[in-house]
Structure 1
Amino acid sequence: MERIGKVVSPIREKLNRRANPEQQLQKLFAAREVRAFQMEHPEVPDAVYRRSMGALHQLVNERGHCDQCPGLDQCPNLMQGHQPELALYGGYLELRLTPCAKLVAKEKEKDRKRLIKSHHIPTDILTATFSSITPHKTRIPAISAAIKFCRQFAEKQPERGLYLYGTFGVGKSRIAGAMAQELVNHDVDSLMVYVPDFLREIKESIRDGMIQEKLDALKKATVLIMDDLGAETLTPWTRDEIIGAVLQYRMTEKLPTVITSNLDLDELEDHFAYSDKGGAERMKAKRLMERIRPCMDAYCVEGPNWREQG
């Protein structure tokens, strides 16, 4: 709340010059906001109201604006997005300002955007919520695990993440996006990245020297969501120096990671073993999987393809 006594002082002086101050006061007493204050504070004498007519006029005018709110961007009140309230101070009634519901909602939306960061994720995924996901019976175990994961933050940050896998279009990414939305309710920041595009961006960042900064963002997010891992074109460098480095850091620091993939864990290991030089690098793949298997609970996401359903 903020006092605006200095602002209403000129109004008070102007009103003092008007004729019939008692008539003015009676009109103000008839206003809903003033009557409500009188009922809450019957001990305040009329003399205080007489000395505070400027504040009373400002209260009635601005609350009238609120009753016919033209929207936050066109708010005509003295301080945009704020509502005045009466307060007794030093023998006068003064106005103190509180944020209106629209301003509070706008600030909450800013906080939501601040807490949810993303790279290359479509808007429909980022705005998904658990209530908007079709609760097909084959998705329920994964959705329940996702909700439980988020709610654990109310007491203690979980150390284990989730590995959501299944065929195309069954809703893995939507569940992950809903997790990001739910985490905001617990003031938890998350970073969601579409892995194939992010790795392409990383390669392009070699020239501008931004690789470490981008890797640090993935490493240090409270919750990292890696969407569509296994769909990327893999090289030993992206496997070992990017994916491996990020997962190693997060495992060491006990930061939970959520992964979505079209591959189950065994298929993902085969994917990591692929070498563009020919043959297979099984030991490196197993080493990387040791940063996934022990740190995540795996859930198969099934059900009808929501893209085909329209």
Structure 2
Amino acid sequence: MEPIRETLKRVVNAPAFSERYNAMRQEVLEHPGVQHFLDEHSSEIDKSIVDKGMGKLYEYIDQSHDCNKCPNLGACINHLKGFEPNLVLERGNIGISYTPCRLKNEHDNKRRASSLIHSMYMPKEVMEATLSGFELDASRVEAFNAVDSFLDATKGPGELPEKGIYLYGKFGIGKSYLLSAVANALAEKNIKSVLVFVPEFMREMKQAIGDQTLQEKVNYVKKADVLMLDDIGAEAMSSWTRDEVLGTILHYRMAEKLPTFMTSNFSYSELQHHLTYSQRGEKEDLKAARVMERIRALTTPVKLDGRNRRI
């Protein structure tokens, strides 16, 4: 039986194997990344080191670089999914180190950003909103510019404008979408937002009395870095929810100068009328005016117009 060493020698010396090896070697050495690496270490690397490290060099060129062979993170072809190879010289030998790729960094940034947004009863599709996805026309420019100005003035956590925006307009024109797009843009600046769908939140507050979590939930909302109250005025407002819940939240945020956003189908004057009458039909002008005073102090009214995008 022929010794294994002799068999390997015969295979390696075969013309076909030699041709394939030379073609592979040429492909490796012509790769821009390999050439750059060899140029950087020209004083440390000789032919013997290159020959010895040919396997590592081929492993390097066979993978994706800057995600050029990967349509998305899930379809990453690299040996370590989400990591791209980098050639290194280790104790006179060519090796490979791996660092997170562009797609993985984008994915991780999105996950980190989403963790900065706490949604309370907001639809999932709205929570994925982006400013680039906001359809812009003449009737929507004012609202977009107001949002853009707020974001431009926001430098980072603890460096936010004191006043938010009160977006109002008819049903289905994209107020909630724009609110969520702002939250996502703020998350990219490492700023946490709490988005609250007001009608459901008010129902939750009534239930919270029974399970003794009312104060905890009110405190969480009122102390948010940025609070976004969606669809205020759509709820059946009682004197208690208006004064003890909404009024408490708004008073705290006004005193602490914390930015607050709101959306509503009502203008300021229409909302004040809505807040004036309780579920029992009681007219309470002074209490409604007190809540509206806080809303005016916290927000700048901006009308959003356009077609109903839910049809």
Report the TM range for the smaller structure's normalisation: 0.7 to 0.9
TM-score (norm 2): 0.81
Is 1:260 aligned to residue 263 of structure 2? yes
Q: Give, as a single letter, the amino acid of the residue that structure 2 aligns with 1:215.
A: V
Q: Return the alpha-carbon distance in structure 2 between the equivalents of residues 103 and 254 of structure 1.
A: 37
TM-score (norm 1): 0.81
Using the aligned pairs only, state the percent identity: 37
How many aligned positions are there? Answer: 289
Do the aligned residues in 2 keep the contact of 1:194 with 1:228 (CA within 8 Å)?
yes
Q: Give, as a single letter, the amino acid of the residue that structure 2 aligns with 1:35.
A: Q
Deviation at 1:298, TM superposition (A): 0.8
Give the structure 2 partner of residue 238 of structure 1: 241
Give the structure 2 partner of residue 137 of structure 1: 138
Q: Return the alpha-carbon distance in structure 2 between the equivalents of residues 39 and 278 of structure 1.
A: 83
Give the structure 1 partner of residue 109 of structure 2: 108
Q: Return the alpha-carbon distance in structure 1 between the equivalents of residues 150 and 44 of structure 2.
A: 53
Q: Return the alpha-carbon distance in structure 2 between the equivalents of residues 246 and 182 of structure 1.
A: 24
Deviation at 1:122, TM superposition (A): 2.2
Deviation at 1:99, TM superposition (A): 0.9
Q: Return the alpha-carbon distance in structure 2 between the equivalents of residues 143 and 72 of structure 1.
A: 32
Give the structure 1 partner of residue 127 of structure 2: 126
Q: Return the alpha-carbon distance in structure 2 between the equivalents of residues 99 and 25 of structure 1.
A: 32
Do the aligned residues in 2 keep the contact of 1:25 with 1:50 (CA within 8 Å)?
no
Do the aligned residues in 1 keep the contact of 2:38 with 2:45 (CA within 8 Å)?
no
Q: Give, as a single letter, the amino acid of the residue that structure 2 aligns with 1:197.
A: E
Give the structure 2 partner of residue 298 of structure 1: 301
128-137 vs 230-239, greater mean Cα deviation:
128-137
Deviation at 1:114, TM superposition (A): 1.2
Q: Return the alpha-carbon distance in structure 2 between the equivalents of residues 25 and 253 of structure 1.
A: 72
Do the aligned residues in 1 keep the contact of 2:168 with 2:265 (CA within 8 Å)?
yes
227-236 vs 171-180, greater mean Cα deviation:
171-180
Change (3 A) 1:71 1:182: closer
Task: Give the one of 282, 293, 301 matched to 1:279.
Answer: 282
Deviation at 1:204, TM superposition (A): 2.4
Deviation at 1:275, TM superposition (A): 2.8
Do the aligned residues in 2 keep the contact of 1:165 with 1:262 (CA within 8 Å)?
yes
Alignment gaps of 5+ in structure 2: 1-7
Q: Give, as a single letter, the amino acid of the residue that structure 1 aligns with 2:172.
A: G
Do the aligned residues in 2 keep the contact of 1:248 with 1:291 (CA within 8 Å)?
yes
Structure having the higher Rg: 2
Change (3 A) 1:149 1:89: same
TM alignment of 1:165-204, pairs within 5 A: 165-204=168-207
Do the aligned residues in 1 keep the contact of 2:232 with 2:264 (CA within 8 Å)?
yes
Q: Return the alpha-carbon distance in structure 1 between the equivalents of residues 285 and 111 of structure 2.
A: 46
Structure 2 residue matching 1:229: 3-state secondary structure: coil
Task: Give the one of 150, 163, 168 matched to 1:160.
Answer: 163
Deviation at 1:117, TM superposition (A): 2.3
Q: Return the alpha-carbon distance in structure 1 between the equivalents of residues 79 and 174 of structure 2.
A: 48
Do the aligned residues in 1 keep the contact of 2:64 with 2:70 (CA within 8 Å)?
no
84-93 vs 217-226, greater mean Cα deviation:
84-93
Q: Return the alpha-carbon distance in structure 2 between the equivalents of residues 276 and 193 of structure 1.
A: 22
Deviation at 1:79, TM superposition (A): 3.2
Q: Return the alpha-carbon distance in structure 2 between the equivalents of residues 109 and 63 of structure 1.
A: 22
Task: Give the one of 213, 221, 225 matched to 1:222.
Answer: 225
Deviation at 1:147, TM superposition (A): 1.2
Give the superposed CA RMSD. Answer: 2.9
Structure 2 residue matching 1:226: 3-state secondary structure: strand
Deviation at 1:91, TM superposition (A): 2.8
Give the structure 1 partner of residue 4 of structure 2: none
Q: Return the alpha-carbon distance in structure 2 between the equivalents of residues 160 and 245 of structure 1.
A: 18
Alignment gaps of 5+ in structure 1: 1-17
Give the structure 1 partner of residue 3 of structure 2: none
Change (3 A) 1:38 1:26: farther
Do the aligned residues in 2 keep the contact of 1:196 with 1:232 (CA within 8 Å)?
yes
